[in-house]
Amino acid sequence: MEGALALQRGGTWPHPLSEQQLISCVSDNNCAGGLMTHAYEYGMKTGLIPSAAYPYQEVEGRCRDAELADKAVARLVGFEALPAGDADALQKALLEQPVAVGVNAGSYAFMFYKEGVISMEECAGEAGAEANHAVVLVGMGTDARGGRYLTLRNSWGAGWGDKGHVRIALGACAMDHPYNVVPLVKAL
């Protein structure tokens, strides 16, 4: 969402949005995970509060959105779910803005990623596995062997992966599921 807001403002967005708001206020978005679509539905009903006003606590906590409503800086106006397994739709959406995607982050290759492109084989042990982690698709490319890959920004901090990013082969790590979503947001 912040990427879309930054694009609307010419490249910068000064208010990182509160992760804690979603963890505490969306019924299934807690420390054990949840669906992006539920978070987006919530964001369409309630203003999005910056993390400076609603900081991350590492626990679920009591929902404070009503008492912090006057601090809201953005609102979701909708979202578009992309067709499962449609790389062209994913690329078209990425040309407009970053895209929220789900991956299976349970493989060793993903959890301990440092560099390169995670291949289908490295995620092979998870055939049929479902997405269990939300990340942001920020780029697509082609490696030296001609294989297409996606560049994803993770929420695990800049010390993880390649400065907080990972590159995975197109379709690897449960990326061909129906949880790829384009958020439509506006600043307040």
Which CATH number is 152's domain given? 3.90.70.10
Q: Is the pTM of this model over 0.95?
A: no
Report pLDDT digits (tens) over 94-151: 888 888 888 888 888 899 999 999 988 887 655 456 778 888 899 999 988 888 899 9
Verify that 88 and 136 share a domain, yes or no. yes
Q: Residue 51's domain spans which residues?
A: 2-79+183-187
Verify that 27 and 99 share a domain, yes or no. no
Residue 27: beta bridge partners? Answer: none
Q: Within a 10 A sphere around the Cβ of 71, how many other Cβ atoms?
A: 17
Range from 86-95, 156-165, 178-187 carrying the lowest mean pLDDT: 178-187
- DSSP label at 82? P
Structure tokens at 138: 């920020």
pLDDT band at 74 (very low <50, low <70, confident <90, very high): very high
Verify that 168 and 113 share a domain, yes or no. yes
Verify that 119 and 143 share a domain, yes or no. yes
Structure tokens at 70: 């006057």
* Average pLDDT along the chain: 85
Verify that 48 and 125 share a domain, yes or no. no
> Which has more pLDDT, 66 or 129?
66
Per the structure, the count of domains in the chain is 2
Verify that 40 and 8 share a domain, yes or no. yes
d(CA 82, CA 84): 6
- For residue 11, give Cα distances in angstroms to 3, 21, 56, 75: 8, 24, 25, 18
Verify that 88 and 71 share a domain, yes or no. no
Do residues 49 and 73 lie in contact, with contact meaning Cβ atoms separated by under 8 Å? Answer: yes
Verify that 59 and 110 share a domain, yes or no. no
Verify that 13 and 63 share a domain, yes or no. yes
- Reference 186, options 25, 78, 45, 70; nearest CA is 78
Residue 181 in this model has a pLDDT that exceeds 90: no
> Which has more pLDDT, 156 or 163?
163
The mean pLDDT value for 170-184 works out to 75
Buried b or exposed e, range 91-124, using 16+ CB within 10 angstroms: eebbeebbbbbbbbbbbebbeebeeebbbeebbe
Dihedral sign computed on CA atoms, order 174, 175, 181, 183: positive
Verify that 75 and 97 share a domain, yes or no. no
Verify that 74 and 130 share a domain, yes or no. no
Verify that 14 and 34 share a domain, yes or no. yes
Residue 168 in this model has a pLDDT that exceeds 70: yes
